[in-house]
Structure 1
Amino acid sequence: MSTVKREAWGRLRKLPSGRWQARYPAPDGEMYPARTEDDKALTFVTKTDARKWLASMHSKISLGLWEPPEVIAERRRAETAAEQSRSMGFEEYSKRWLQMIKTEPNRSGKIRAVGTVRSYQGKVSGYLVPEFGDTPMRDIDVNRIRVMTDRLDKIPAPLNPKSKFNGITRPVLIVLMMILRQAARDGIIPAAPSVSIPRQESVRHDADHDESEDIRDCCTDR
């Protein structure tokens, strides 16, 4: 059987477990039990501990710093979600990005063609994921991108192995920068690294209309 003790302010109750529960009158007129910042039940080993907690809550209310427990919990959940997003790895985010571009319109307001999305997916799975894997998005900087482009530049051109330009580096870099710019817009990273896209050379992949729109978007600072 629990025992209720009236205090000068608030109430204490000894639970059957032997721990103490504290309740207090809030500015909104409701009585609230003690809760943790993530909105879980909070009880105390001793009556003294429960009284100390009540005293701290009374001071918080007196200073106008009180907030409803559900508001505090929601803010904590949002902060936790934001932190998890900021530490998201490249492979996970790139999957999210590929899903997004299937339905999100390009710069002209048009939905991308299936072939365009498939082309981007091939660059992500064939070059970018093997390069970055689970690397946190926030760790992909200019130096890491330079290492990638140096590696890609060494791949022989499929049609002319002796050619100086293989037609791979530029389109892969464009897709990477599209991903990074979207990550910046999503708040995953502060800003996309400042990287120059090399101009098209003789060995090339002719971009379709959708890709041309995305290239202009990728290469234009906002």
Structure 2
Amino acid sequence: MGRRTWGTVRRLPSGRYQARYTDHSGKQISAPSTFATKADGYRWLAKVQTELDSGRWIDPKAGKETLKVYAEHWVETRLVRGRPLAPRTAELYRAQLKNHIVPALGSTPLRQLEASAVRAWYGKLSGPAGPGQVTAAKCYRLLRAICTTAVDDNLIARNPCSIRGAGQERSTERPMFTLAQVQALVDAVEDRWRALILLAAWTGLRIGELSALRREHLDLQTGTVSVTTAVVDLVGQGRLYGPPKSAAGRRSVAIPPHIIGDLERHLRMYAQAGAHGLVFVGPKGGPIRNNNFASRVWAPAAEAAGLPAGSHLHDLRGWGATIAARHGATTKELMHRLGHASAAAALRYQRAEQERDAALAAAMSTALSQSEGTSST
């Protein structure tokens, strides 16, 4: 049996050679296959020692579990800023895995997941027969995050998700309402829902935040609404109340003074009693259900107000942010009002206003040129 300073190579009865070494825990590790020559065995040991010293070594026996098994465990144990995934986020990830990732790649062992397989999967997902570019981008980002953790866990050597730009969403432009359309929407809904539409439009609160809002969260003397709780309806789990989706979601938002009177009237007529009473409830006193609200309240009112087809209550967030940007809100101020930890969304609204301002400036120049041309004739 040959021996060097690190690891051993021995000749087997078959005539081939086996290379072994002892890891830091005292466990003896053998090469995944035998070698034709003793020199080949030593070369393997030298390669392993170099990778161990540089922190790049991957146990050849690691990564045997399938992507499906690892991904399910990943969702269960994933932490974001030290906190477990929000229930709605975990539900979304499981749906993406079930519908778009596991059917194509789930049975593949982690260590056998190749970049070529990921490219083929993404090509089909983002193609004409797939669910659309936005869904494909979301699923790709999820797979990339899972594989990044697998790299950190020393289960695979490198991330097979290496398609440049695949995780970037190219969403179709959401409709931008006019002030007249928003007012028409407010007038079109039943009186019970008037204050909800106004608050959604002028403060940018999400439907889950509005549904969880209680009397104690409204301070109409100072004109503020405190967002401390959000509600989600999960399949198989029912209705869950919890903190907003991120730490930035916990915020106090100033309410424009012109809707304070509508909120005061709503509290008198429609909200549940007591400090802990829900602000927005249905005619029978029950909490808002997003799907029911969308079909029974939003859809007919949106049609009556002449909003673009496919409009959602969530589009009022974009409207409110755009109005705030139009009146000079900074990136940080928009992030606060929307409850965003990232500046990306705030910058998008500011960019839209800058583009609009540039278009207005160009239009003024065009009008001046036309005026000069007319006066010279």
TM-score by length of 2: 0.30
Higher relative contact order (CA 8 A, sep 6+): 1
Q: TM-score, normalised by structure 1?
A: 0.48
